[in-house]
Amino acid sequence: DQQVKQNSPSLSVQEGRISILNCDYTNSMFDYFLWYKKYPAEGPTFLISISSIKDKNEDGRFTVFLNKSAKHLSLHIVPSQPGDSAVYFCAASTSGTYKYIFGTGTRLKVLA
Amino acid sequence: GAVVSQHPSWVICKSGTSVKIECRSLDFQATTMFWYRQFPKQSLMLMATSNEGSKATYEQGVEKDKFLINHASLTLSTLTVTSAHPEDSSFYICSARADYNSPLHFGNGTRLTVT
């Protein structure tokens, strides 16, 4: 049972435009969500997180939106840059536990 | 920011031998570290939770006798793949975080190839 889903395996966006990556989850106990960026043959790098008490968190070009009723979160990158090309994983966790559940990832390609 | 160092970054071994992978938290103490495995084009699968000073907690389907985990100190966890077989070839990644209010930070991973 895949508790965290990223239904788009890949996404291509023109440089300068907005990239929107989506993530859905099924477990209502999740209350902490994160996005990680991963290059080939490297470990994931933390990008941004959001607690369930918020519906939006912004850090520079990256904004994460959380819709608890829909059990959906999204990562917006604007403006997109070629260096943003990577695989993006969303992850979910429950307070008081260290365990993260990862989605299957979305490969973003930003075209110059 | 928090740094997690993983060594080696890649290793090739013969079938039947054992391989040890080290994971260190460089600028913080981690009572808990995590070992993940990633298959090509797939998600990160949690293998086990490494607890300092106690036994590791393994996820369902992960053989604890094959994947030995030792968390010897607050900054070091090791994963030993014992009697490796070609199907153990994969990308193994460790992670750690300082406390509940901090995100997980990952090492750069170890590419294991068993011939």
* Residue A4: closest C-alpha in chain B: B43
> Using a CB-CB distance cutoff of 8 angstroms, which residues of chain A are in contact with residue B43?
89, 102-105
> Using a CB-CB distance cutoff of 8 angstroms, which residues of chain A are in contact with residue B97?
98
Helix (H, G, I), strand (E, B) or coil at A90: strand
* Residue A90: closest C-alpha in chain B: B43
Distance from CA of A19 to the nearest CA of B (A): 21
Selected for mutation to probe chain A from B4, B44, B47 (highest A CB count within 10 Å) is B44
Distant-in-sequence contacts of A63-71, Cβ < 8 A, 24+ apart = A64/A33, A64/A35, A66/A33, A70/A24, A71/A24, A71/A25, A71/A26, A71/A28
What span, in angstroms and rounded, lies between the C-alpha atoms of B78 and B50? 9
What span, in angstroms and rounded, lies between the C-alpha atoms of A81 and A16? 6
* Residue A98: closest C-alpha in chain B: B100
pLDDT reading at A22 higher than 70: yes
Given the structure tokens 């508790």, which residue do they identify? A3
Helix (H, G, I), strand (E, B) or coil at A102: strand
Q: What is the pLDDT of residue A82?
A: 96
Residue A43 at interface with chain B, using a CB cutoff of 8 Å: yes
> Using a CB-CB distance cutoff of 8 angstroms, which residues of chain B are in contact with residue A96?
100
Lowest mean pLDDT among A48-62, A90-104, B8-22, B81-95: A90-104
pLDDT tens, residue by residue, A35-78: 999 998 888 999 999 999 999 999 999 999 999 999 999 999 99
Given the structure tokens 């406390």, which residue do they identify? B99
Between residues A99 and B113, the one the model is more confident about: B113
Is the separation of the CB atoms in B91 and A87 below 8 Å?
no
pLDDT reading at A1 higher than 70: no
Percent of chain B with pLDDT over 90: 68
What span, in angstroms and rounded, lies between the C-alpha atoms of B9 and B48? 20
Q: Which residues pair with residue B22 across a beta bridge?
A: B7, B78
How many interchain CB pairs under 8 A, A with B?
Answer: 51
Distance from CA of B75 to the nearest CA of A (A): 17
Q: Do A43 and B106 touch (CB under 8 A)?
A: yes
Token pair belonging to A104: 């299957």
pLDDT reading at B2 higher than 70: no
* Residue A38: closest C-alpha in chain B: B108
What span, in angstroms and rounded, lies between the C-alpha atoms of A60 and A75? 12
